[in-house]
Chains A and B, each alone.
Chain A
Amino acid sequence: MDGLTYALDAVTTPSTVLAAAGGVLWGILGGALPGLSPSIAMALLLPFTFDMSPLAAIILLTGVYIGAEYGGSIPAILIRTPGTNAAAATVIDGYTLHQQGRGGEALGLSLVAGTIAGLVGLVCLVLLTAPLSALALYFKPPAYFALAFLGLSIIAALSEGSLIKGLIMGVIGLMVATVGTDPLSGVTRFTFGEPDLLGGIDYIFVMLGVFAVAELMSKVAEKDGVEGGAISKAVARVKLPGLRKLWDLRRAQAIGTTVGIIEGPIPGAGGTVAAFLSYNEAKRWSKTPEKFGKGSEEGVVAPEAANNAVTSSALIPTLSFGIPGSNSMAILLGGLLIHGIQPGPMLLTSRPDLVYGLFGGLFMSNLFMLIFGLLVLGPAIWLVNRPKPYLTAGIFMVVLSGIYVINQSLFDFWIVLIAGIIGYGMRLLKFPVLPLILGIVLGYMVESNYRRSLLLTNGEHRVFLENPLSLGLLICAGLIIGLAILSEIRRFRRPGIAAHG
């Protein structure tokens, strides 16, 4: 009952309602801009959450994530350019429907399918978070260390590119986290006499650099045209489907929602995989598979339901274990840590107000998506139609202004610019970003629990093997790394493939 009270409190507090509305609005506009992924849209807002209450901040960020997943379908349907990766599957039938003069209908299907899936995903999140958090009682410092180690192993093993590159980025992330004053002994480390480094390198600046600045650098480098999207204003109206239509499309809706809920918690899978998988499954189970690719409504409903269901279910590992499975979730985790909130098994026990308040916020955000989806199509089209250099300049200015919000220090600008150069280099050389971010975010959790565990046994490492939970998690981490190594060896043995790296 307390949980419901917290959720109701969130949906009736003006600051959280505004945060949900603002987040969804920004998310739809950001998602509609090709190249501005949900994670970048979230990262741009991160500095502004500093002065907000933790609940409002986290609702704002999840609102952006939810809004961006719908926003991505707008250019996917209207100009055959997905605004987000997850909207790529929507292009296939969404754009064909638009060519047939049914663009408004396709947008309406995307909006309603996404809202329904988001709400069903939320129910699953509510039902699963409490049982998973019951594990909290068994978590001691060795288990926390092993959990963080497992999280890093999973992300490094499943990241795009080679396992070694993933592990290297995870280690570098942990190294960055060691800069500053050691929280346990008060000794300064790797500051080189620079007072601005005493507090460490804030992960927000690294995130802004490797996500937003690196993306802008890529855009400027490619010089991918000056003109905007050229969407006709004639289609600036969303046509919502009726109940009969929704009933007819229930199979695709159910497939998309189920696939999204299952894929969401899996690290590295995310909305893109879920959208394509559900598109294929919807086609396989459809009574009219021949319509797919030729303007099938089911071909729009299934992927849009999937990528919106992911927005809720992806929160399960983030909230329950403190392990984000995607870039967007890593930024959300950063948003929680900014406010001194450590996600993980103890979160529901220590901050039920925040967890249940977030559930209320997610409910609001899904409803706001339906409302703003209808209202902001015109502004979104206007924005997509602007010449790209204006957008590049505007986003760069938002990044540079946002940095100053946090510490009011010019030193932080340098960190962001350097992180941007490193992020750009990582893209070129195919080093994954997520392990780096996760290493920085989990750095404190890894080190503090490692050292606390050894305090209990006078420096004996056997403590990690004596704790059953820690042992189990470390075995899982070992298995994941082992399987990833086997998979790499098999890849090398295949002639021709190794040559392509």
Chain B
Amino acid sequence: MHKATLAVSAALFVLAVAYWFAADAIPASRLAGQVGADGLPKLLGLALGVLSLLLAGQTLFEMRRAAAAGQGEDKGEGGDRLPGSWREHLRALGLIGIGVGYLLLLPHLGYIVSAGLLLAAVATYAGLKPSWATLLFAVGGGVVFYLIFVKILQIPLPAGFWPGLLR
């Protein structure tokens, strides 16, 4: 996990620098008072920069201690490996992929169909085998969510192209 923490420290330092410069570019305003709109952001950018360097220093120190103690590179949480495998992390990101797919389909297919598809996709992705039960869950779930959110709570969720077909 140490290497990953070092990489994150570096990324946080870059973020701190970028944030500080973005704060510096904030236009001044006469309404701002003694401390402008850029005052606290600059302070935060500086704080994050210092803290990311401290985190990197702490991690390097831990690595040296681990090496001196004879601990190998890949010894669980204290070593360089992240908890879980890359396959697991990719699986986790797959859920976000399904969410993105839902977002892209929602304006076109409408809420009820997109909800059904998302329910089927996530249930299958999480381990269920495609079956009539899964299909029933998706169709029933889509209808239930539609009734709750659109009909009962009156949330104007996208209807998709279906209403156009009925005109």
CB-CB contacts of A134-175 with B at 8 A, as 1s and 0s?
A: 000000000000000000000000000010110110011011
Residues of A within 8 A of B2 (CB): 501
Flag if B106 contacts A446 (CB, 8 Å).
no
Name the CB-closest residue of B to A427. Answer: B83
- Which of A216, A388, A390 has the most CB atoms of chain B within a 10 A radius of its CB? A390
Evaluate whether A401 and B119 lie within 8 angstroms (CB atoms) in the complex, with A185-B32, A389-B127, A417-B100 already known.
Answer: no
B70 to nearest A CB, angstroms? 9
Flag if A496 contacts B22 (CB, 8 Å).
no
Flag if B34 contacts A420 (CB, 8 Å).
no
Evaluate whether A220 and B40 lie within 8 angstroms (CB atoms) in the complex, with A393-B118, A404-B157, A498-B65 already known.
Answer: no
Flag if B8 contacts A454 (CB, 8 Å).
no
A95 adjacent to chain B (CB < 8 Å): no
Segment 144-158 of B: residues with Cβ below 8 Å from A: 145, 148-149, 153, 155-157
Residues of A within 8 A of B51 (CB): 164, 167-168, 171
B92 adjacent to chain A (CB < 8 Å): yes
Q: Tally A residues with Cβ within 8 Å of B.
A: 68
Residues of B within 8 A of A174 (CB): 40, 44
> Please, how many angstroms separate the alpha-carbon atoms of A179 and B123 in the complex?
36
Residues of B within 8 A of A421 (CB): 93, 96
Flag if A498 contacts B62 (CB, 8 Å).
yes
Residues of B within 8 A of A284 (CB): none
Flag if B34 contacts A187 (CB, 8 Å).
no
A226 adjacent to chain B (CB < 8 Å): yes
Segment 156-215 of A: residues with Cβ below 8 Å from B: 162, 164-165, 167-168, 171-172, 174-175, 178, 182, 184-187, 189-190, 213
A1 adjacent to chain B (CB < 8 Å): no
Of A12-20, A344-352, A408-416, A464-472, which binds chain B?
A408-416
Flag if B35 contacts A499 (CB, 8 Å).
no
Flag if A218 contacts B92 (CB, 8 Å).
yes
Segment 52-72 of B: residues with Cβ below 8 Å from A: 52, 54-55, 58, 61-62, 65-66, 69, 71
The one of B35, B48, B89, B96 in contact with A420, judged by C-beta atoms closer than 8 angstroms, is: B96
Evaluate whether A185 and B29 lie within 8 angstroms (CB atoms) in the complex, with A165-B55, A410-B107, A459-B35 already known.
Answer: yes
A279 to nearest B CB, angstroms? 27
Name the CB-closest residue of A to B116. Answer: A397
The one of A189, A217, A428, A495 in contact with B95, judged by C-beta atoms closer than 8 angstroms, is: A217
B42 to nearest A CB, angstroms? 10
> Please, how many angstroms separate the alpha-carbon atoms of A225 and B120 in the complex?
17
Flag if A500 contacts B78 (CB, 8 Å).
yes
CB-CB contacts of B97-131 with A at 8 A, as 1s and 0s?
A: 01110110011000100010011111111111000
Residues of A within 8 A of B135 (CB): none
Residues of A within 8 A of B141 (CB): 393-394, 397
Evaluate whether A178 and B40 lie within 8 angstroms (CB atoms) in the complex, with A187-B26, A408-B155, A455-B34 already known.
Answer: yes
Flag if A223 contacts B40 (CB, 8 Å).
no
Question: Top 9 closest A-B pairs, CB basis?
Answer: A389-B126, A500-B78, A459-B34, A393-B122, A221-B92, A217-B92, A185-B29, A182-B37, A185-B32
A-B CB contact pairs (8 Å), 23 listed: A164-B55, A164-B58, A175-B41, A185-B33, A185-B37, A187-B26, A187-B36, A189-B23, A190-B19, A213-B96, A213-B99, A220-B126, A221-B92, A223-B88, A225-B127, A392-B122, A392-B126, A396-B98, A397-B115, A408-B155, A414-B103, A459-B34, A499-B62
Apart from A175-B45, A213-B99, A389-B127, list 10 A-B contacts with CB within 8 A: A168-B12, A185-B33, A185-B37, A187-B26, A223-B126, A394-B119, A405-B155, A455-B34, A458-B34, A495-B69
